[in-house]
Structure 1
């Protein structure tokens, strides 16, 4: 989304959000320090808002690295790369991740981590790591569901985690599923022709999966009157909207079918349902286009 797209989705933090988070981190750090002291910094001090596999702390390191991910999107990349002990800080129900206010338990989770995964549009990851006094490696993830980028990031994380075999196995599964979904979508083209689409900048990956022709993009800022006129003039059959950043009907008078594309995985931190869900929505829209 320059790309990366939010449950949250995805997404650029405003200076207001950054300053608010910066002001709260010292208080959070103090609260976390007191909490960890009271708990004796034990391994059962708890994690963030969610987790998958492993028990956390040093116990989880027996089966691989302990990973803390800011959202389920980074968590899904880590899981695909072979990490078994993954804790997510931002709840999947949060509509816009950059607005999340970190909690003391988040610092406790980070203090036990080997790796902390984050995206550049999330303003708090580095501050959390510093406030927790963690020795974890801070790893920036290119959050984009473009197939080529997903393969590259999963392979890179597998190398960092020492789980190359698991990452390679996941990529083979992904390639088969992606190819199946893409072929099914192309077979559903209206009139057998690739549809023209206008896409939000963080959902262009879904257009590529469908083999659609992207004739224009918009966002993440609101569409201006001049952009509206220019995009409508392209006569798109579909508008691919970012479900996490939707501002309503994008081209209300164009006659284009608008499709909400979800970027973020659910609590299971599984990327494949994201592609299946997008394919289902696109197939329905193309039938009525």
Structure 2
């Protein structure tokens, strides 16, 4: 098994109150040590209460399998209590095995829809022993999400609900904007047949996935395409993703 095949992406996190730590076995650590495959999983972990975060895969690497792991990555996994990964990243188990780690593997549902984010953060908080921190974050998230959603809706063209076509991993942004999704595409490139079908929907906007973009989805249509970022590119603040999406959406909707 080559390290390139393994494709490690790891993040070192820790954080829970002393009272919570005493109720969980962290393999001798005062706080849980969490390794995540990408900054997206790291953002969920930090939201759940993990405090000290170190991202191994550079934010510039949008496709984790392109990353070549280093010996230090395997060392981080070997010292972890938890390893977070997504279903489409099966290499996490191989990394853990190669590192000889006793860490618990946790599959993370990387979906930014509000309900799923809150459920995932709460679940991670329970596993980490940081339930109070996770609850506090979800409360802050709910308040911020509602505010951002209201700001975006205030920019609806003519005060009317906009219609959009969204890449399958960017539908959450349409939800944030309160837009009507008339079609979806991806993650594969749009075929000529799909292009005709999507064009017939006559959407006002296309919400593309910045991490998996294949260029103009509806070329020569005049439909504005908005690039949506799904995970933090600097740091692990998941709320920054929603703030960034709200800014991009409001700008497009208002025509500015």
Structure 2 counterpart of 1:116, from 73, 79, 83: 83
TM-score, normalized by length of structure 2?
A: 0.89
Alignment correspondent of 2:212: 245
Alignment correspondent of 2:18: none
Please tell me whether the aligned partners of residues 11 and 37 of structure 2 are also in contact (alpha carbons under 8 angstroms). Answer: no
Please tell me whether the aligned partners of residues 142 and 153 of structure 1 are also in contact (alpha carbons under 8 angstroms). Answer: yes
Larger displacement relative to structure 2 (91-100 or 225-234): 91-100
Alignment correspondent of 2:254: 287
Distance (Å, rounded) in 2 between the aligned partners of 1:225 and 1:95: 26
What's the CA shift for 1:100? Answer: 1.9
Instruction: Give yes or no for the alignment of 1:164 onto 2:131.
Output: yes
Alignment correspondent of 1:24: 2
Alignment correspondent of 1:187: 154
Alignment correspondent of 1:96: 63
Change (3 A) 1:86 1:67: farther
What's the CA shift for 1:99? Answer: 2.3
- 1:44-63 aligned within 5 A: 51=12, 61-62=29-30
Instruction: Give yes or no for the alignment of 1:266 onto 2:244.
Output: no
Note the residue ranges of structure 1 that are not aligned, 5 or more in a row. Answer: 1-22, 29-47
Please tell me whether the aligned partners of residues 216 and 234 of structure 1 are also in contact (alpha carbons under 8 angstroms). Answer: yes
What's the CA shift for 1:88? Answer: 2.9
Distance (Å, rounded) in 2 between the aligned partners of 1:26 and 1:93: 17
Please tell me whether the aligned partners of residues 48 and 124 of structure 2 are also in contact (alpha carbons under 8 angstroms). Answer: yes
Alignment correspondent of 2:195: 228
Distance (Å, rounded) in 2 between the aligned partners of 1:247 and 1:60: 47
Alignment correspondent of 1:133: 100
Please tell me whether the aligned partners of residues 11 and 54 of structure 2 are also in contact (alpha carbons under 8 angstroms). Answer: yes
Alignment correspondent of 1:67: 34
- Write the deviation string for residues 236-265 of structure 1: whole angstroms up to 9, x where unpaired: 010000000111111012221100000011
Aligned pair count reads 244
Distance (Å, rounded) in 2 between the aligned partners of 1:142 and 1:215: 24
Secondary structure at the residue paired with 2:2? Answer: helix
What's the CA shift for 1:267? Answer: 3.2
Please tell me whether the aligned partners of residues 235 and 254 of structure 1 are also in contact (alpha carbons under 8 angstroms). Answer: no
Change (3 A) 1:82 1:143: same
Instruction: Give yes or no for the alignment of 1:202 onto 2:166.
Output: no
Larger displacement relative to structure 2 (121-130 or 225-234): 121-130
User: Aligned-pair RMSD on alpha carbons?
Assistant: 2.2
TM-score, normalized by length of structure 1?
A: 0.80
Note the residue ranges of structure 2 that are not aligned, 5 or more in a row. Answer: 16-25
- Write the deviation string for residues 128-154 of structure 1: whole angstroms up to 9, x where unpaired: 001111000000000011110000000
Alignment correspondent of 1:211: 178
Structure number with the bigger relative contact order (C-alpha 8 A, sep ≥ 6) is 1
Secondary structure at the residue paired with 2:29? Answer: helix
